[in-house]
C-alpha cells in the first residue's frame, strides 16, 4: 500500500501568517497514464471532509486562491498564503493512484 506521511501533525498558525503542510508517499503517485492523483482535503470541526485540491495543484471550484498545492512523484505540499479563522481544522492528503486509496494521518491546523 502507498503509505502517506504528513508533517507536521499539529500546526499552530497566527492569523494572516502562511502555513505549509508536507505529504510524502512511500511510492510514486504518477499513474501509468501520466497523471498524479494526489488530493488535499479539509475537515472543519464537526463537518464532513471536503476536497480542496485534486491532481496535486488544481483547486476545486469555490476554494480560495490562498490555498495552493504543489509537488511531484512522492513529495507534495499544501500551502495557505495567509491563514484565516475559517481555515481551522484537519487537513489530509489522499492518493488515488494506487489501490487501496490511502490517506495521510491528518494535520491539525490551529489558529493562534
Partner 1 sequence: EVLLVESGGGLIRPGGSLRLSCAASGFTFSGDSMNWVRQAPGKGLEWVSWISPDGRTRVDAKSVEGRFTMSRDNAKNLLFLQMTSLREEDTAVYYCATIPMVRGGGAYWGQGVLVTVSS
Residues at the contact surface with partner 1, assessed by CB under 8 A: 1, 35, 37, 39, 41, 43, 48-51, 54-55, 58-61, 90, 92, 94, 96-97, 99-106
Nearest to 77 by CA among 12, 14, 18, 34: 18
Minimum CB separation from partner 1 for residue 68, in Å? 15
Bridge-based pairing of strands 19-25 and 38-43 is unpaired
Give the strand pairing for 102-103 and 107-111.
unpaired
Please state whether the peptide bond connecting residue 8 to the residue before it is cis, i.e. omega within 30 degrees of 0. Answer: yes
* Closer Cβ to partner 1, 48 or 112, answer by number: 48
Residue 24 or 51: the one with the smaller Cβ distance to partner 1 is 51
- Closest approach, Cβ 103 to partner 1, in A, equals 5
**Shortest distance (Å) from residue 38 CB to partner 1:** 9
CB of 37 to partner 1, least distance (A): 4
In the complex with partner 1, the residue whose CB is nearer, 3 or 15, is: 3
Taking residue 85's Cβ as centre, other Cβ atoms within 10 Å add up to: 7
- CA 54, 59, 63, 64 torsion: positive or negative? positive
Amino acid at each position: 500500500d502507498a503509505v502517506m506521511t504528513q508533517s507536521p501533525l499539529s500546526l499552530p498558525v497566527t492569523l494572516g501568517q502562511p502555513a505549509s503542510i508536507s505529504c510524502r508517499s512511500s511510492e510514486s503517485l504518477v499513474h501509468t497514464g501520466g497523471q498524479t492523483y494526489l488530493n488535499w482535503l479539509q475537515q472543519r470541526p464537526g463537518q464532513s471532509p471536503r476536497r480542496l485540491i485534486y491532481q496535486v495543484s488544481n483547486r476545486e471550484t469555490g476554494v480560495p486562491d490562498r490555498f495552493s498545492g504543489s509537488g511531484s512523484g512522492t513529495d507534495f505540499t499544501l500551502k495557505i498564503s495567509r491563514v484565516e479563522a475559517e481555515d481551522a481544522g484537519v487537513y489530509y492528503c489522499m492518493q488515488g493512484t494506487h489501490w487501496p486509496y490511502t490517506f495521510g494521518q491528518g494535520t491539525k491546523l490551529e489558529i493562534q
